Amino acid sequence: MPELPDVEIFRRYAESKATRKTIKKVSGDEDQVMEASARTIGRSINGHQFISTARKGKYLFMGTGNNKNVVFHFGMTGNFAYREKKSELPANTRFTIEFENGDLLGFVNQRKLGMVDLTDGIEEFCRKEEIGPDALEISQKDFIDLLKTREGSIKSALMDQSLVSGIGNIYSDEILFQAGWHPNKQVPDLSESDLEELYQKIHHVLELAIKRNADPAKLPYTWLLPNREEGKKCPRCKGKIEKIKISGRGCYICPSCQNK
C-alpha cells in the first residue's frame, strides 16, 4: 500500500521503535531487494544507532550517528515490523536489523518490488534517483511553476515521481475525484487558479490520510477510496463508479463528478 501517507506512517513507527538502540547486526536475502548487500550495510552501521528518520516521497531514510543512511522503498507491498526480543517476524521479511537488546526491525516486502540501499547523503541520493520535491514539502508557487510547462494528462503528471514525489495510483484517484477533474484532463488546460485548487486538494487528501494512519477503513465515507470499486455508488452523486485504464493502470472515477 505504500504511497506517501503510508510511508509517513512507517517512518513514525520506525522513529518511535527503532531509534536510539545500538545495532548489533543486519541480515537480508541476497536477492533483488538488496540494492546494497546486507554485508555492506552491516559493515557501515553495526555498533551504531539510528538517530534520525526522514521521508521523501515514497522513500524512507534511517540515519545513523556515523552519518550513514539506510534507504527503504516498499514497492507495491509491505511495511515494517518491529518485534521485541527476537520474537518471530512476519513471512516475507526480506531484511532484518537486530539490536543489542535483542529487538528486531523487519522490512516486509512480499512482492520483492521494494529495495533497501545505503547512502551517505539523502540529497545526493534523491538527485541520483531523480526524485522530485515531496508533495507535502513543495510550495504552492513552485508546484504551479512546475505544472505550467507540463504537457499530457493530469493523472500522469501527479504520478510522475520526478516532478513531485509521493503520489501514486490510488491517492491520485482520490485527489482528482475531490478536485472534480477527469484524469485525462490535459495539464495545459488548467488555469493558475485550477492549479492552486489542485495544490490545496493534494494537501487536504494527504494530510488527512496521515491523520487517519493511512488506514483506508478510517477515511471519510465521502471519499472515493472506500468506494473505489467498479459499479459502487459515488458517495457524492450516487452515480456509478467506473474503472478505466490510463497508462496501464486501473483508474477509478465518477464520470459525472469528474467532468471538468
Side-chain half-sphere of 165: how many Cα atoms within 13 Å? 19
Contact assessment for residue 254 and residue 239, using Cβ atoms and an 8 Å cutoff: yes
3 binds DNA (CB under 7 A): yes
Based on CB atoms, which residue is closest to DNA, 50 or 125? 125
Give residue for cell 536475502: 29
Bridge partners of residue 145, in order along the sequence:
none
**C-alpha distances in angstroms, 119 versus 77, 113, 123, 156, 175?**
23, 19, 10, 29, 33
89 binds DNA (CB under 7 A): no
First-to-last CA distance in the chain?
29
User: Which residues make Cβ contacts (< 8 Å) with residue 69, sequence separation at least 6?
Assistant: 54, 61, 62, 63, 118, 119, 120, 121, 122, 125
Based on CB atoms, which residue is closest to DNA, 48 or 112? 112
- Please identify which residue in 150, 203, 204, 232 interacts with DNA, judged by CB under 7 A: 150
53 binds DNA (CB under 7 A): no
CA gap 28, 47 in Å, rounded: 18
36 binds DNA (CB under 7 A): no
250 binds DNA (CB under 7 A): yes
Question: What is the closest distance, in whole angstroms, from the C-beta atom of residue 166 to DNA in the complex?
Answer: 8
User: Which residues make Cβ contacts (< 8 Å) with residue 13, sequence separation at least 6?
Assistant: 80, 82
Stretch that binds DNA, among 17-25, 96-104, 163-171, 198-206 (CB under 7 A): 163-171
117 binds DNA (CB under 7 A): no
Question: What is the closest distance, in whole angstroms, from the C-beta atom of residue 24 to DNA in the complex?
Answer: 28
Stretch that binds DNA, among 36-44, 96-104, 168-176, 199-207 (CB under 7 A): 168-176
# chain residues binding DNA, by CB under 7 A: 38
220 binds DNA (CB under 7 A): no
32 binds DNA (CB under 7 A): yes
- Name the site residues for DNA (rule: CB under 7 A): 1-3, 6, 32, 57-58, 73, 75-76, 91-92, 110-113, 129-130, 149-153, 156-157, 159, 161, 168-170, 214, 216, 243, 246-250
